[in-house]
């Protein structure tokens, strides 16, 4: 049983003008209603709007192709045991071409075997950054050679952005959509 949602949707009659504007801007940019992390983020409409704008770039227009972006998102979801994020992006990762055994290894918190060279470089970059709060010179050099400065910054940006969303949802206890089951078990502490 999941703990109670701390920041459920705000009833329409209680929305401020700033919140209504943020919702309208979200709908115009994404052609969708707010959901997931944007429900709690609406408590700060300015943060929600700026986070959505950053996400629009990182998710849809970054220098990394969707397969690699989704790979980084899954790594970040696993790091934070964020089941809503995983539930939203695991199917996208499969469709983008991430192998099922790689997805399963990430879900289990293991370093996947059989990664492509690009995946191995991104795995090292993002894992070191999340685990050590730094990146070794060797890993940085490999990432720069493969992805260039913009690609490295976009990979770090995706990690940071999805860490923000995971932190928001973990704080708010954002529930999974109806009928969805948690795919990620908490790491042993």
Q: Is the pTM of this model over 0.85?
A: yes
pLDDT tens digits, 94-134: 999 999 999 999 999 999 999 999 999 999 999 999 999 99
Assign 3-class secondary structure to 6-74.
CCCCCCHHHCCHHHHHHHHHHHHHHCCCCCCCHHHHCCCHHHHHHHHHHHHHHHHCCCCCHHHHHHHHH
- Per the CB < 8 A criterion, the answer to whether 55 and 32 are in contact is no
Domains with residue ranges and CATH for the chain: 16-60 (no CATH), 66-172 (1.20.1290.10)
Calculate Rg over the CA atoms of the chain: 17
Cβ neighbours of 91 (radius 10 Å): 12
pLDDT tens digits, 7-59: 999 999 999 999 999 999 999 999 999 999 999 999 999 999 999 999 999 99
Tell the burial category of 144 from Cβ atoms under 10 Å away from its Cβ (0-12, 13-18, 19+). middle
pLDDT tens digits, 139-169: 999 999 999 999 999 999 999 999 999 999 9
Tell the burial category of 154 from Cβ atoms under 10 Å away from its Cβ (0-12, 13-18, 19+). buried
- The residue whose two tokens read 């999941």 is 2
């Amino acid at each position: 049983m999941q703990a109670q949602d701390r920041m459920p949707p705000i009833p329409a009659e209680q929305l401020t003008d700033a919140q209504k504007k943020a919702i309208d801007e979200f709908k115009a940019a994404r052609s969708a209603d707010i959901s997931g992390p944007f429900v709690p983020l609406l408590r700060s409409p300015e943060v929600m709007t700026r986070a959505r704008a950053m996400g629009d770039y990182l998710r849809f227009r970054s220098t990394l192709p969707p397969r690699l972006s989704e790979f980084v998102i899954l790594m970040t979801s696993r790091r934070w045991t964020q089941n809503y994020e995983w539930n939203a992006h695991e199917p996208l990762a499969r469709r983008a071409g991430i192998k099922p055994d790689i997805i399963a290894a990430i879900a289990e918190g293991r370093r996947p075997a059989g990664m492509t060279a690009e995946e191995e470089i991104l795995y090292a970059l993002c894992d070191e950054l999340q685990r050590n709060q730094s990146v070794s010179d060797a890993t940085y050099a490999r990432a720069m050679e493969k992805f260039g400065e913009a690609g490295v910054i976009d990979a770090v940006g995706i990690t940071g952005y999805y860490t923000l969303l995971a932190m928001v949802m973990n704080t708010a206890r954002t529930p999974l959509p109806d009928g969805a089951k948690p795919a990620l078990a908490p790491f042993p502490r």
